[in-house]
Amino acid sequence: MDKNTITGFVLIAAVIIGFTLLSRPSEEDLAKQKEQFRRDSIEYVQTKEREKELVKPDSTIKKEQSPLDDFFTASVQAQDSLAITDSLHSGTSQEQLITLENNKVRVNISTKGGKMIDAQLKDYKRYDGDSLYLFNKDGDFSLLLTNKQGKVLHTSDLIFTPIQTADKNSLIMRFSYSENQHIDFIYKLADDDYMLKYDISLVGLQPMLDRDKADIFEIQWSHKMRRQEKSVKNEQRYSHIYYKYVGGDVKELSSDKNEQLEVKEPTKWIAFKNQFFAPILIADGKIETALLDSRVLQTDENSEYLKTCDARIFVPATLDMAAGTMSTGFTYYLGPMSFSLLKNYDSQIADASQQLDLDKLVPLGWTLFRWINQYFVIPIFNLLSNTGLSMGIVILLLTVIVKLLISPLTYKSFMSSAKMRVLRPQVEEIGEKFPKQEQAMEKQQATMALYNKAGVNPMSGCIPLLLQMPILIALFSFFPNAIELRQQSFLWATDLSTYDAIIEWTTHIPLIGTHISLFCILMTATNIVYTKFNMEMTNTGQQQMPGMKWMMYLMPLIFLFMLNDYPSGLTYYYFLSLLITILLTIGFRYLIDEDKVLAKLEANKAKPKKQSGFMARLAEAQRIQQQQLKDKNKTNSTKKKR
């Protein structure tokens, strides 16, 4: 390194050192910088604390949601930043619970979000004896507000202040931004009822909101459907999201698969329904649009939840420009799925288009079967229940009444079988006259001719049975959904609304599950006896299809697998019904003189008989079939000769 280079570096170093010494701040300047650094640090920590408390933790929402001060200050000019920060919390930051209750329901409302966090039904218990909660901190309810800059505020993040009213069962949950700007959630629990009035009111906040959304409320309602019954499989079968169109029908989502649905037509209410209980959100006016999402959970005998239900709803707001308010109203129904109770809510509404139709949450079958249940089965069942008798006796009396009312049909079916049975020897003679397989058509024609002369219609025994089927199917829908049977015991069955296991095990066996129900076994055994008895009674001497006999015996076993998990009240009814049918059939057989029946049929043969339309068509069909068979045989014979 030469002398010039060294001299250059020395001069540069001298300049830097000199500049540093000359530009060094004074003691007063250092004190000011230190104070500014402290203030910046405090502000940074406060900002982080607000974000931690007020920003939605869900990663899917973080991008669109900002701290609460950003939401409000975006539309406010010339406000002191400290005053705005102090107004972010209304009341204490510690969560408080306020209870509203009557004789039927108890609800807790939290200051965190101003929302209802649990609802307990006092008159009911879970299958294990614990208190029954429709929900208990396992759901969420939030009003979403969007400001002019697109920032979204979830009220579930806010701390509200409870304002008690003169009515002990009324409560106002208020979040105040300023003295004249606040959000009110207003609750009022009805006396001795399951209805809870819920109103939303925004005061002085409309100028801050997005103009495109300033006349509509967006609400998110999520709910984990709690298991309440012993049979998970049976409860899940009847657990759905339901909704009702304004002035229209009640619809439902699937119970056994995941389903998402956008309801674009105005809706009156949405229900997250279990088998016997439901929270229902009923709009005072209408729900403009709803996005519904139902997801089935993997369940076993130890499961606590059946599925998750979510609803994102958009409700028109009522605007009062003079008062500077936006409002809307709802009513919660928090109670049991009792048909009579739910039906009663429409008793004071004369206009059918305005009725709530909450009773349609009780699945009573398709239209015909629902009519039978609504106007026949349920009135008789309620009448018997009001006597104070045990539900086992009520079901017995109901079965007897139903069987007596349809006994004329049973009698007519028995008489048809009796007529064909007394003609059995003559039918067997026809069989001996046409023994060959290729003579089957002649045999059938001769048999039908015999029945026609004697005045017997082979189909007359089937028609009464078909007429009884709607009642049997209607009762198949009624018993699993009759909350009156819930936790009512009879004999060994501790709960007629679920299965009555006589044997249980832990390993799941396909088709049968983890238990055997005793009433189901009794029903199956009685069904087998009835099948054998009925086959003997209806044996007309005609040749049956191969395997038909064993098929008839197989059906009761199929019902054993199908109904093993169904309520014991249903299988108990079927057991009684089959037993009474057997007794009636035996009684008819002893009361009816078959010799007189045969004598009457023989007398009919001597009378000129006009063939009925059905018999004429049947005879013509047989004649055509016989002619076609002859032509076929003739063609085959010609081919063989060639």
Residue 293 has a pLDDT of: 97
CA–CA separation, 99 and 126 (whole Å)? 21
Determine the pLDDT at residue 622: 61
Q: What is d(CA 65, CA 73) in angstroms, rounded to the nearest whole number?
A: 14
Query: Which of residues 233 and 195 earns the better pLDDT score?
Result: 195
Question: Torsions phi, psi of 406, nearest 5?
Answer: -100, 5
Q: Is 554's pLDDT higher than 80?
A: yes
The rounded distance, in Å, linking the Cα atoms of 147 and 151 is 5
* Owner of token pair 């809706």: 267
The tokens of 603 are what? 């007398």
Of residues 22 and 374, more confidently modeled: 374
For 86-100, 529-543, 604-618, which range has the lowest pLDDT when averaged over its residues?
Answer: 604-618
Determine contact, residues 184/284, Cβ cutoff 8 Å.
Answer: no
pLDDT by residue (tens digit) across 236-281? 999 999 999 999 999 999 998 999 999 999 999 999 999 999 999 9
Give yes or no for a contact between 433 and 446, defined as CB atoms under 8 angstroms apart.
yes
Question: Considering Cα of 586, then 588, then 591, then 595, what sign does the dihedral take?
Answer: negative
Token pair, residue 66, equals 């900002």
How does pLDDT run across 144-188, given as a tens digit for each residue? 998 888 888 999 999 999 997 888 899 999 999 888 899 999 999
pLDDT of 512 above 70: yes
**Quick one: pLDDT at residue 25?**
54
- Mean model confidence pLDDT for the chain: 81
Contact residues for 380 (Cβ-Cβ < 8 A; gap 6+): 398, 401
DSSP 323: T
Overall average pLDDT of the 367-381 stretch? 95
- Name the DSSP class of 103: S
What is the per-residue pLDDT across 5-45, written as a single tens digit (0 to 9) for each? 455 545 555 544 554 455 555 656 545 555 554 454 445 44
Structure tokens of 569? 């009240």
The encoded tokens of residue 84 equal 């705005």
Q: State the pLDDT at residue 584.
A: 87
Of 574, 567, 507, the C-alpha closest to 229 is 567
pLDDT at 456 over 90: no
pLDDT (tens digit per residue) in 49-99: 444 443 344 434 343 333 455 666 544 432 332 232 333 444 456 789 999
Q: If residue 350 lies in a helix (H) or strand (E), which one and from where to where?
A: none
Dihedral pair phi/psi, residue 502, rounded to 5°: -95, -25
The gap from C-alpha 347 to its chain's centroid, in whole angstroms, comes to: 24
The answer to whether residues 294 and 265 touch, using CB atoms and an 8 Å cutoff, is no
pLDDT tens, residue by residue, 276-302: 999 999 999 999 999 999 999 988 888
Query: Contact 496/485 with Cβ under 8 angstroms?
Result: yes
**Do the beta carbons of residue 311 and residue 267 sit within 8 Å?**
no
Lowest mean pLDDT among 426-430, 506-510, 569-573: 426-430
Taking the domains of the chain in order of start, what are their residue ranges? 97-363, 370-609, 617-642
Q: Would you state the pLDDT for residue 531? A: 85
Q: Give dist(CA 420, CA 398) in Å, integer.
A: 32
* CA-based nearest residue to 530, from 586, 482, 481, 606: 586
- C-alpha 116/C-alpha 220 separation (Å) is 13
What is the rounded radius of gyration, in angstroms, for the C-alpha atoms of the chain?
39
> What does the alpha-carbon distance between residue 76 and residue 587 come to, in Å, rounded to a whole number?
89
CA quadruple 464, 466, 471, 472: dihedral positive or negative? Answer: positive
Name the band, by pLDDT with cuts 50, 70 and 90, for residue 376: very high
Cα-based distances in Å from 567 to 182, 391, 479, 521: 51, 13, 7, 13
Asked if residue 105 lies in contact with residue 115, where contact means CB atoms within 8 angstroms, the answer is no
DSSP state letter for 330: E
Q: What is the pLDDT of residue 620?
A: 63
CATH number of the domain at 97-363, out of 3.40.50.300, 2.70.98.90, 2.60.40.10, 1.10.3720.10?
2.70.98.90
Place of tokens 């249903």: 570
- Residue 304 has φ and ψ, to the nearest 5°, of -100, -20
**247 closest CA partner among 397, 351, 93, 131:** 351
Which residue type sits at 211?
Answer: R
**378-385 and 391-405 are packed helices; what angle lies between their axes, rounded to 10 degrees?**
140
Q: Which residues contact 458 (CB under 8 A, 6 or more apart)?
A: 416, 420, 451
CA distances from 102 to 213, 215, 358 (A): 37, 35, 22
Confidence at residue 532, expressed as pLDDT on a 0 to 100 scale? 82
Lowest mean pLDDT among 51-55, 453-457, 475-479, 543-547: 51-55
Return the HEC string of 427-461: HHHHHHHCCCHHHHHHHHHHHHHHHHHHCCCHHHH
Residue 542 tokens, joined? 């005609």
Q: Is the whole-model pTM more than 0.95?
A: no
Residue 609's pLDDT band (cuts 50, 70, 90)? low
- pLDDT cut 90: percent of the chain above it: 49
Measure Cα distances from 227 to 230, 299, 305, 516, 622 in Å: 8, 10, 5, 22, 59
